[in-house]
Chains A and B, each alone.
Chain A
């Protein structure tokens, strides 16, 4: 059981929710939790943005009824959560790591940024959003001492266009990348960045812990479940068919 500590809007329809509870099952950035939402049958999977020994931070955008209900949660409310799901990112020691997040794909990269810094690495950060009103966590990444570049599709902040445009415009070099965001963004990164990397995928899930086979994908290493064998996969293993 977790308890809602604080919830605040940080961008258009985007909320940052701080929870307290037993976080021992979260061991790597890129893992997710699965939240029971009153009035909905299936749980809602949300990636962990940041965590410590007794609290965690989740960021979500209101897309449908489930996230709408979640956005109205009050401080002190108890929450039924399955924690520490999925494999998460593996820290690879390289000179020029790059973090690329798109929309609600940004949150898990914040926890990863902190983990990379702990390992003495200093990644560049590129964040992509639709418009300036959607931008969040640029300041938080910069507070970690990292350079955070922004791309917006309508050009209202940073580079006009996609994350790949921001990478080109700012001549950002990288020898390894970590990414989370919509599939078209991930595909573009895989084809435009020559280096290797890790990508966190999104797929509609049933259970979130590998039992129902709802979220399977074909990979170079056979059939994998996004929830249990992922959500983070190595670039080389993705088939993108």
Chain B
């Protein structure tokens, strides 16, 4: 049986649904010598803000059962350096449309950075992160109410021409309500989930492991939560969803697409196995054969 791995996100066609998630793949530099990045569907690059940022104090990583907490806090070189230095470098070894992950601390920040990134030819989709749990102002606070989420969406849509995907936070009571508000404000799609707010304490030191006290949980631990939320958003909206949260195998990819995702992002798994995206892309057609799936784009929840 011939299998078809192609998927389509708002007119942007991907050879396969596998996309490294923002914050786990930098700008590709650390992976480019490990395998040909052009086998990937796309790349969602490191969350970018208007100004350069160091992020939070260290330690900003903590081990958890089946996952990790991070409180990096959007370390990035700022929108201008990303456009003038990082994307040109990445273009040398990656020739497909990119997903530009943008974060901000005010509506103006989001609009400012998105308007700039919209002009970069290689950018296929703008992924607006309104869900970073590691910054005190902005970040997740925009993603936790339908009104502010819609406001960011509207402001970004007004200054951009490319598809705008809103990256949603799982730290909410009703993710479907937020998705519906964003869709009404013009969102072309959604990415979910960002990390779940968590914390660890070092019982010998009697202090939090993270200098920031709290951080975002990711990894296989959050997969069932992510799957449930993708399903809920799928039922609530009619635009495409990029599903993510603990995906670590081809089986996970198929499961996430059966919950309603049109493509997926691989995050934490890149950190423990830098070859994981390549392995999943190789494993996917075999798994599809096994399950009698001829085309990934046909996978939808019929329940």
Please name all residues of chain A whose beta carbon is closer than 8 Å to the beta carbon of B30 when the two chains form the complex. 209-211, 228
Say which one of B104-112, B174-182, B269-277 lies at the interface with A. Answer: B269-277
* Min CB–CB distance B190 → chain A (angstroms): 24
Minimum CB–CB distance from A86 to chain B (whole Å) comes to 13
Is B219's CB under 8 angstroms from A214's CB? no
Q: A212-B24, A213-B75, A216-B55 are in contact. Are A207 and B270 (CB under 8 A)?
A: yes
Query: How far apart are B93's CB and chain A's nearest CB, in angstroms?
Result: 15
- Chain B residues whose CB sits within 8 angstroms of the CB of A206 once the complex forms: 61, 68, 70, 271
Q: CA of A203 to CA of B209 in the docked complex: distance in angstroms?
A: 12
Q: Is the CB of A41 within 8 A of B75?
A: no
Q: Are A218 and B54 in touch, CB under 8 angstroms?
A: yes
A187 neighbours in B (Cβ, 8 Å):
none
Q: Which residue of A lies closest to B56 (CB)?
A: A216
A210 to B60, CA, bound (A): 14
Whether the pair B55, A213 counts as a contact (CB closer than 8 A) is yes
- A223-B75 in contact (CB<8A): yes
Kindly state whether residue B26 has any CB partner on chain A within 8 Å.
yes
Counting chain A CB atoms within 10 Å of each CB, the highest count among B26, B209, B220 belongs to B26
Closest Cβ–Cβ distance, residue A218 to chain B (whole Å): 6
Which of A40, A42, A211 is in CB contact (< 8 Å) with B270?
A211
Report yes or no: B65 in contact with A216, Cβ–Cβ below 8 A.
no
Main secondary structure on chain B at its contact with chain A?
loop
Taking a contact as CB atoms closer than 8 A, the residue among A40, A207, A210 that contacts B63 in the complex is A40
A-B contact count (CB 8 A): 81
Assembled-state Cα–Cα distance A217/B272 (Å): 22
Asked if B31 CB lies within 8 Å of chain A CBs, one says yes
Residues of A within 8 A of B24 (CB): 207, 211-212
Interface membership of chain B positions 55-97, coded 1 if the CB is closer than 8 angstroms to chain A and 0 otherwise:
1001111111111101010010000000000000000000000
Contact A203 to B270, CB < 8 A, known contacts A41-B64, A223-B75: no
Chain A residue with the shortest CB-CB distance to B73 = A213
Q: Are B66 and A41 in contact (CB under 8 A)?
A: yes
In the bound complex, residues from chain A placing their C-beta under 8 Å from that of B186 are none
**Which residues of A lie under 8 Å from residue B46 when comparing CB positions?**
213
**Do residues B61 and A41 form an inter-chain contact, with CB atoms below 8 A?**
no
Query: Complex Cα distance A1/B189, Å?
Result: 41
A182 near B: Cβ within 8 Å? no
Residues in chain A near residue B72, CB distance under 8 A: 212-214, 216
By size class, the interface of chain A is 20 to 34
Q: Is the interface of A mostly helix, strand, loop or mixed?
A: loop
Query: Is residue B23 contacting chain A, with contact meaning CB distance below 8 A?
Result: yes
Across the interface, do A42 and B58 meet the contact criterion of CB distance under 8 Å?
no
Closest chain A CB from B5 CB (angstroms): 25
Chain A contacts of B55 at CB under 8 A? 213, 216
A211 and B44 alpha carbons, distance in the complex (Å): 13
A40 to B219, CA, bound (A): 12
CB neighbours of B234 from chain A (8 A): none
Convert B207-234 into 0s and 1s, putting 1 for each residue whose CB lies closer than 8 angstroms to a CB of A: 0010000000001100000000000000
> Are the C-beta atoms of B65 and A214 separated by less than 8 Å?
no
Complex Cα gap A212–B22 (Å): 10
CA distance A82 to B270 in the complex (A): 13
Closest Cβ neighbor of A217 among chain B residues: B58
Is A36 located at the chain interface by the 8 A CB criterion? Answer: yes
> Is A215 positioned at the interface, with any CB of B under 8 Å from its CB?
yes
Q: Does any Cβ of B come within 8 Å of A204's Cβ?
A: yes
For window 16-60 of A, CB contacts with B under 8 Å fall at: 36, 40-43
CB atoms of B270 and A223 under 8 A apart: no
Q: A41-B63, A41-B65, A210-B30 are in contact. Are A216 and B272 (CB under 8 A)?
A: no
Determine if B142 is an interface residue (Cβ-Cβ < 8 Å): no
Taking the complex as formed, is B25 at the interface, i.e. its CB lies under 8 A from any CB of chain A?
A: yes
Give the interface centre of B67, B220, B268 by most chain A CB atoms within 10 Å.
B268
Is A155's beta carbon under 8 Å from chain B? no
> CA of A196 to CA of B277 in the docked complex: distance in angstroms?
43
In the bound complex, CA of A177 to CA of B26 (Å): 34
The residue in chain A whose Cβ has the minimal distance to the Cβ of B72 is A213
Nearest chain B residue, comparing its CB with the CB of A215: B58
A210 to B54, CA, bound (A): 15
Tell me whether A223 and B54 are in contact in the complex, defined as CB-CB below 8 angstroms, given that A207-B270, A211-B270, A216-B75 are known contacts: yes
A selection of 21 A-B contacts at a CB cut-off of 8 Å is A41-B63, A41-B66, A41-B268, A42-B272, A43-B272, A203-B58, A204-B209, A206-B68, A206-B70, A206-B271, A207-B24, A209-B274, A210-B30, A211-B30, A212-B61, A213-B26, A213-B46, A213-B72, A213-B75, A214-B70, A228-B30
Which A residues form the contact surface with B (CB < 8 A)?
Answer: 36, 40-43, 66, 82, 203-207, 209-218, 223, 228
Contacts beyond the supplied A209-B274, A212-B70: 6 A-B pairs with Cβ under 8 Å: A204-B59, A214-B61, A216-B54, A223-B54, A223-B75, A228-B30
Binding site for A on B (CB under 8 A): 23-26, 29-31, 46, 54-55, 58-68, 70, 72, 75, 209, 219-220, 268, 270-272, 274
- The 5 A-B residue pairs whose C-beta atoms are closest, nearest first, are A214-B61, A207-B271, A204-B59, A206-B61, A210-B30
